[in-house]
Amino acid sequence: MPSRQELANAIRALSMDAVEAAKSGHPGMPMGMADIAEVLWNDFLSHNPKNPKWFNRDRFVLSNGHGSMLLYSLLHLTGYDLPIDQLRQFRQLHSKTAGHPEASETPGVETTTGPLGQGLANAVGFALAEKVLAARFNRPDYSIVDHYTYVFLGDGCLMEGISHEACSLAGTLKLGKLVALYDDNNISIDGKVGGWFTDDTAKRFEAYGWEVIRDVDGHNPEAIKAAIVSAALDPDKPTLICCKTIIGFGAPNKQNTEGAHGAPLGKDEIALTREKLGWPHAPFVVPDEIYHAWNAEAKGAEAETRWNALFAKYRNVHPDLAAEFERRVNGILPADWAAHADAYIRKLQAEGPTVASRKASQMALEAYGPKLPELIGGSADLAHSNLTLWKGSKDVNSGDASANYIYFGVREFGMTAVANGLALHGGFVPYDATFLVFSDYARNAVRMSALIPAHSIHVYTHDSIGLGEDGPTHQPIEHLASLRYIPNNRVWRPCDAVESAVSWKAAIERRSGPSCLVFSRQNLVHQHRSDEQLAQIERGGYVLSEPADGQFKAILVATGSEVELAMQAMRTLEQRGIGVRVVSMPCTEAFDDQPLEYRESVLPSWCRARVAVEAAHPDFWRKYVGLDGEVIGIATFGASAPADKLFAHFGFTVERLVDAVKARV
């Protein structure tokens, strides 16, 4: 039987060999954390390599994702579908071993990590999901939701501000099944961290309400094991295990230096390392006895079989709960969901309320929430401005089994990354909320939700200068364009209550990535629509109005509050004998995904007299209006004044739209 040292050395060897083959990567962290990983994965982690998506598995997150070869080595050694050829192709095009772990590419990777600290925040979301689901579905003798979330992190994760946001929240939420193992090696890219990172990390986490286990020898398997055992003792406190490690452990000339952090060790140093570690094997060669000792297929299958047997008994005793559990964890919406949502949208169209779209958003939550127990979310201390609370909202910290609301506090970045973790865990459709201007604070986590991808819904209110007196610090200008430029992100800016309800429905149903729902502070006028127009809203752009005879000379394209402005301009132009088509385009990404035939029917190429209007940066809209068109937007910061004064001051007037159309007809 191989020793624990030999098992850990397999990780070290594979990691330094893969980085050397790629001539790129980070060998130091995998070599330094190999002993910790060996103990965690062999003695504690419950998982099944042959079914990476088994629901009750423990979640493992590599927040210090630059050390990706640690995770790839673990997945390969324990029996996941990650053969040695994939490790040989580390960081190469089309391989499953990207420079940083990607959940969509590699079996066994729970979340895409790399931007430091976000994996840690995702892990908070995983642990919160486990806690809330357990409260909802577990019954005496039937703990069908019962797993841990383990996360590796480094100095960089702790220096990033998101670690404060997420870990402070984790302590408040008492996430006792969250265990973080800190690679305390005192080295980052620029060298020894003592010149820029002197926090007392242990005291910091104790202040958050965490259990902290200090000064664990990260190269002593028994000390590591004892620490992880201790982490499970307090059910109400997440645990930080501070592991003292040596970066690049085993590399004689580079260990404990920044030289081991982010570059290949080099052939000569690797040869010396093999000698020091007692690893005589050729690159990418692992002896059969070590493979056998690492392999977790039988143990994983046994764990899943036990859980399946427990769930079968649960289904017999609690059939309704079991059916609901399976529906949720499989991401299936209720059978009557679509009919319910469509009926609500038709009802809104008939009633025609004139409300702020943020209020319409709350109305949609009231209508959809009772049908969707998987809907969970909250606001970054703006619940009464974002209007994210609805009658069925119950605080996740209340102990209520049907809890579904998170008071995130002023933590926009952490909030968004936690929501991503909730989405990735399964069983939930999460939403988060803040002012649109503060999407800047959250933006990298929004980007990650699109990249992963995660089914997260990002709610942003106070969408333009229309928020008024708070002034330019709170008035978004470039934010809509910024969010729209994120690949695989869908941004909805509805023009009334009906489009708001449709945007929520589309976001809930979209499984392939996130949606940003952007709502106004000010009231928006209801727009009249036919049944055909109502059905076309989900296509992202549609003809809202045009002359009765279908003869038009120009097209006005608008979103949000500016749709009514376009409608008023259309009526004025009609009185002057100029026929105009108005296109409402609440979601440009959804519109761009439509067949060419449909897009041509809405924006026919023959009509080059086009004007787009949106109270945001204008440059984004030029692809829709062409060289002959005009975009009426705002490319400066706003000002502090009532909304109506600001719209007039910055040129969002009927007269300006009329003049722009007349100049092009």
Of the listed 20, 412, 589, 614, which one is catalytic? 412
DSSP state of 256: T
Spatial CB neighbours of 517, under 8 Å, sequence gap ≥ 6:
361, 457, 458, 459, 460, 492, 494, 500, 503, 504, 507
Q: How many other C-beta atoms can be found within 10 angstroms of the C-beta atom of residue 233?
A: 10
412 is catalytic: yes
Count the Cβ atoms, other than its own, within 10 Å of residue 567.
22
Contact 371, 343 (CB under 8 A): no
E strands of 380-423, at which residues? Answer: 405-407
- CB count within 10 Å of CB 656 equals 18
Give DSSP secondary structure letters for 281-345: PPTT---HHHHHHH--HHHHHHHHHHHHHHHHHHHHH-HHHHHHHHHHHTTPPPTTHHHHHHHHH
Q: Which of 369, 387, 412 is nearest to 161 (CA)?
A: 412
Q: Residue 350 corresponds to which amino acid?
A: A
Angstrom distance (rounded) from CA 31 to CA 251: 9
Could you identify the residue written with the tokens 């079968």? Answer: 312
Distances (CA, A) of 606 to 374, 603, 628: 47, 9, 12
Which residues, 6+ apart, have CB-to-CB distance to 191 below 8 Å? Answer: 257, 258
- Please name the residue that has the structure tokens 């590591």: 224
Q: How far is CA 99 from CA 64, 85, 89, 153, 451, in A?
A: 12, 16, 11, 17, 14
The dihedral formed by the CA atoms of 197, 199, 204 and 206, expressed in degrees to the nearest 10: 110
CA distance 66 to 312: 41
DSSP per-residue string spanning 327-391: HHHTTPPPTTHHHHHHHHHHHHHHH---EEHHHHHHHHHHHHGGG-TTEEEEESS-IIIII---T
* CA-atom Rg of the chain in angstroms: 27
What lies within 8 Å, CB to CB, of 140 at 6+ separation is none
Strand partners, 515: 457, 490
CA atoms of 295 and 297, how far apart (whole Å) = 6
The CA–CA distances, whole Å, from 618 to 1, 471, 632 equal: 67, 20, 6
Pick from 544, 538, 497: nearest CA to 515: 538
Centre a 10 Å sphere on the Cβ of residue 634 and count the other Cβ atoms it contains: 22
- Token couple for 434: 């803040």
Q: Which residues belong to the active site? A: 412
